[in-house]
Structures are given as structure tokens and as C-alpha cells.
Structure 1
């Protein structure tokens, strides 16, 4: 029942857009991203641009984790000798490296629950497919592990014309009766070549 004059009730009352996935009896809820983020993820799938690094980053965002940087300074070492690399003044060359980690959201909860990396990736991929392709494709992935195959070429816009019906037997017979019999073409004799005058 609806209390709306136009027949459409409040969507939030009867529709839950979030994704609820269960591992070993515990339900984890992945909230749907806002419209802007949802469109961006859908476009990533449409452009078929989802490298391994991008996939992990998008999964972490969907499960509410944030990157916490941990910048450390270390000496640059020669890969062949292991000795420190020196600059022109004889001082050791240093470089900054980020040894940060993801934290927060479902990431912390799932790590505390002992969820494996593969299970977390499966949850994350299902959530990505849910946003990027749709709920049915996400359900197929959740149950089978299969990922949707994206079309390699863009689909033509609009509805394609239906294929013309194959002619039935009577139509083929009628067409054969109306068509004139084909005659074999007479061969023409090739013209004789005149001998060229001798120089």
C-alpha cells in the first residue's frame, strides 16, 4: 500500500539498496555508494579499465576502508652489491617509501573475524559487480565465482531490426515458376592477333 497521490510510495520504505553477504553465518553489509561514485564505477566497467591495483583500491573504498600512509625514509641500495648508493658528495642517497595500510570500515571488522584475503576479495568483487554491472551478475558471481564478460565492442544504439522470415515451401515454388529459365551464354571466339611487322 502507498500513501502517495501518484501511486508511488517512498522508495526508502520498501527498497534496501545495500548488499548483504554472509560468511560462516555472519552477515556483512556493503552500503551502496552515492550516485556520483556509482556512476564512476559503472564507467570503469564500461571502459573495461580495471587493473589489479584499481580493483583492490575500489574494493577497499566500497567496504569503507581508507589508506593510512606510513612514510619511512631508507637508504637506497645497489641491487647488485647491496651497498648504499652514494651521491656526488659521498653521502648515502635516501628515498621515502609509503608502508601504509588500509584501515576502517568492514576491513577492520572482517580482519578481526578472521576472514581470509580470498574471501574478502570475493566479497569485494561481488560488491563491485553489483555496482558496475548489476545485482543479477553479482548474484551469479557470489554463487559461482564467475565474473561477467564485458562486450569488446560497443553495442549499437536502438533496437535491431528483426531478421526477415525464411520463405516457406509454397513461396519458394512460386518464385521458381516465375523466374525465367537461364540460358547458357554463347562463347565468342577470341579475335586473331595480327603478326607484328619485323623491324
Structure 2
């Protein structure tokens, strides 16, 4: 068998302002912990913690802006907090629920998507 990295990339990428940004996958341990955390009630989930882990940021502090990893790249490129947060939330969706969920989340801007109604005849 070939090495899995030769036939599959598990990095999440998405464009913002014409530039494609990449989130490297979490470690197996962090990925499992994130998936378990996403099963909790929404009010009990620390999305900022998971975005920071996925962005490769430095330890979070209550009195300092997130820094390191993708935070610095996004900041240097002038990406707004709304775009950075949406990108981070979509990365969580990608690694916790899969590419299809992430694409739907990205395109819907995080709004709930209702299935199309079947016409009645």
C-alpha cells in the first residue's frame, strides 16, 4: 500500500480576500477530544479554544489577543475578526463533522440550513 499522504490530504483550505489559507489537521488526540466536545450542549463548548488549537496559536490569555500560527498570518493580511472566526468555525466543522458539513457551513455563513421542501402534488 502507498503512504496515505500520497493519496489523501486532510488539510482544510479556504479562500479569503483572494488568498487560500490552510489549517493543518489536529493531532489524533486533539481531534478526538474536539469531536467529543462537539457533542456537548452548545453553551458548554469553547469554540475559541478549538479555533486556537486548529490555528496553531499560542496559549490563550484573557487580556491578550490570540497570536501565533494562523492568527498572525490572518492579522498580517488584514483579515477581519468576522472572516477569521467564520474560517475557524468552518475548520471545526471540517474536522469534527466532515467536508460536506464544512462546505455547507461555509456557504451558509453559519446559518441553519433547512432541507428543501418536497413539492406536494
For structure 1, the 5+ residue unaligned runs are: 70-97, 150-199
Distance 2:94 2:41 in 1: 15
SS across alignment from 1:46: coil
Which of 12, 19, 36 pairs up with 2:5?
12
State the match for 1:58 in structure 2: 50
1:146 aligns with 2:110: yes
Task: Provide TM-score, normalisation by structure 2.
Answer: 0.82
Structure with bigger helix share is 2
Higher relative contact order (CA 8 A, sep 6+): 2
Deviation at 1:100, TM superposition (A): 2.7
- 4+ residue stretches of structure 1 with deviation over 6 A? none
Distance 1:100 1:27 in 2: 27
Q: Which has the larger radius of gyration?
A: 1
For structure 2, the 5+ residue unaligned runs are: 114-121
1:38 aligns with 2:31: yes
Distance 2:60 2:15 in 1: 27
Closer, same or farther: CA 148–64 of 1 in aligned 2, 3 Å = farther
Task: Provide TM-score, normalisation by structure 1.
Answer: 0.52
Distance 2:66 2:47 in 1: 14
